[in-house]
């Protein structure tokens, strides 16, 4: 269905061609091309006739074809998995988009955004043709999980230079960039729990088969062994609604709640308010929404815009002939509050 839509869009754009504009203006095709590319050696009269024809016919220049014909390369795609289980706007993808676009603009490179849902029904060959039709040479992929089999095969195929955010897979043409999720989860939960009387813990893990979920769970398990904690693990799927349901189901018999994301922590807090009981809650990610929750909650602060900017830089290095590498980005432990999100 997505492939068909793309084809239909292409046909719509090609209903009016550069040949049609030339015929309408009474000039050669090469003259129209000169006007479109702002060549100086075209008279104002001719330029006016061509622009009038473009306006009359509603002609849309094919910028992709122009890039190809001028040998302009280096076009990249930011491929994102948006959290469709979130009941509020998930700011993390937006932070990635802002960071990538700003850095690409500074570097003078062209970048487009593609969502997982747009390519979910495609096999590897269809994905390859789709990206090649957009003149894409490199991919920055955010949120790749074990369930994304076709996309993983595309990466492993080596036809595109790739940077994976929060997923493993270093090779000659692929780099990985991430925080140390296991260490971060261990550290923030230890700071939250150590020295307290909390022993029975509800741990709300993230999306099933997501690499970050598994890494954070390992960190929590390691802390449980060190502190002698009794941890009940339930899959909250990075959803505040699911976290709310699980908190209402299990929180009364637990001393504290540790969440693998801030959105789930917000859902857990909402449930505790509705239940009229107190349980301390720990988050992960450091999203600005946490500053409005009214609690100074322990969380892990990630600079998503900086991570995306670094991914753009790394992809440029790969496309210039560099080899893939594993890049670990620093994280911070904070107690996020209102002033953190307005200053």
Domain ranges of the chain: 2-59, 75-178+304-330, 181-301
Per-residue pLDDT, 265: 95
Q: According to CATH, what is the number of the domain 2-59?
A: 1.10.260.40
Per-residue pLDDT, 330: 96
Per-residue pLDDT, 63: 52
Along the 343 residues of the chain, how does pLDDT read in single tens digits? 333 333 333 333 345 788 888 999 999 988 988 888 777 788 989 989 988 988 888 776 655 555 545 444 579 999 998 866 556 667 899 999 999 999 999 999 999 999 998 998 999 999 999 999 888 999 999 999 999 999 999 999 999 999 999 999 999 999 999 999 999 999 999 999 999 999 999 999 999 999 999 999 999 999 999 999 999 999 999 999 999 999 999 999 999 999 999 999 999 999 999 999 999 999 999 998 877 766 678 999 999 999 999 999 999 999 999 999 999 999 999 987 655 555 5
133 Cα distance to chain centroid:
22
Q: 64: buried, middle or exposed (CB in 10 Å: 19+, 13-18, 0-12)?
A: middle
**DSSP 3-state of 58:** coil
The beta-strand segments (E) located in 251-342 are: 256-259, 281-282, 297-301, 326-328, 332-336
Q: Is the Cβ–Cβ distance between 323 and 172 less than 8 Å?
A: yes
Q: Is the Cβ–Cβ distance between 236 and 264 less than 8 Å?
A: yes
Per-residue pLDDT, 294: 62
Whether the domain at 75-178+304-330 and the domain at 181-301 fall into the same CATH topology: yes
Q: Is the Cβ–Cβ distance between 260 and 166 less than 8 Å?
A: no
Query: What is the 8-class DSSP label of residue 324?
Result: P
Q: How far apart are the first and last CA of the chain?
A: 45
Residue 82 has which token pair?
A: 């948006």
| Maximum alpha-carbon separation in the chain | 85
Per-residue pLDDT, 61: 64
Question: Rounded to whole angstroms, what are the CA distances from 250 to 203, 218, 233, 271?
Answer: 10, 21, 10, 11
Per-residue pLDDT, 58: 76
The CATH class, in words, for 75-178+304-330 is alpha beta
CA–CA dist 285, 181 (Å, integer): 10
Per-residue pLDDT, 162: 98
Compute and round to an integer the Cα radius of gyration of the chain.
Answer: 25
What is the pTM for the complete model shown? Answer: 0.78
The CATH class, in words, for 181-301 is alpha beta
Half-sphere exposure of 342 (CA within 13 A, CB side): 5
C-beta pairs of 213-218 under 8 Å, 24+ apart in sequence: 213/260, 215/181, 215/182, 215/185, 216/181, 216/182, 216/184, 216/185, 216/260, 216/284, 217/185, 217/260, 218/182, 218/185
Per-residue pLDDT, 16: 73
> Residue 204: which of 269, 273, 288 has the closest Cα?
269
Q: Residue 232 belongs to what H/E stretch? A: strand 230-235
Per-residue pLDDT, 4: 32
Per-residue pLDDT, 3: 32
């Amino acid at each position: 269905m997505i492939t068909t839509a793309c084809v239909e869009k292409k046909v719509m754009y090609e209903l009016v061609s550069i040949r049609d504009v030339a015929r309408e203006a009474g000039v050669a095709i090469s003259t129209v091309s000169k006007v479109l590319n702002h060549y100086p050696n075209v008279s104002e009269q001719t330029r006016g006739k061509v622009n009038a024809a473009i306006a009359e016919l509603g002609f849309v220049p094919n910028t992709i074809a122009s890039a190809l014909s001028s040998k302009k390369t280096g076009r990249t795609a930011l491929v994102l998995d948006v959290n469709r289980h979130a009941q509020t706007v998930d700011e993390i993808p937006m932070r990635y988009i802002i960071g990538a676009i700003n850095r690409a603009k500074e570097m003078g490179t062209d970048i487009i955004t593609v969502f997982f849902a747009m390519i979910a029904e495609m096999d590897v060959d269809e994905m390859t043709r789709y990206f090649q039709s957009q003149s894409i040479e490199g991919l920055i992929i955010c949120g790749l999980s074990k369930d994304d089999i076709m996309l993983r095969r595309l990466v492993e195929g080596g036809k595109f230079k790739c940077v994976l955010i929060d997923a493993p897979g270093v090779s000659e043409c692929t780099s990985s960039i991430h925080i140390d999720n296991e260490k971060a989860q261990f550290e923030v939960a230890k700071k939250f729990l150590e020295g307290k009387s909390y022993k029975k813990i509800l741990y709300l893990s993230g999306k099933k088969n997501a690499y970050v979920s598994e890494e954070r769970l390992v960190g929590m398990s390691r802390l449980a062994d060190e502190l002698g904690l009794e941890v009940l693990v339930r899959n909250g799927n990075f959803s505040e609604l699911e976290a709310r349901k699980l908190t209402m189901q299990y929180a009364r018999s637990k001393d504290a709640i540790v969440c693998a994301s801030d959105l789930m922590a917000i859902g857990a807090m909402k449930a505790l308010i509705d239940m009229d009981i107190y349980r301390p809650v720990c988050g992960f990610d450091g999203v600005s929404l946490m500053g409005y929750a009214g609690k100074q909650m322990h969380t892990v602060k990630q600079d998503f815009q900086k991570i995306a900017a670094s991914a753009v830089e790394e992809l440029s290095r790969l496309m210039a002939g560099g080899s893939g590498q594993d890049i670990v980005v620093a994280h911070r432990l904070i107690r996020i509050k209102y002033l953190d999100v307005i200053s």
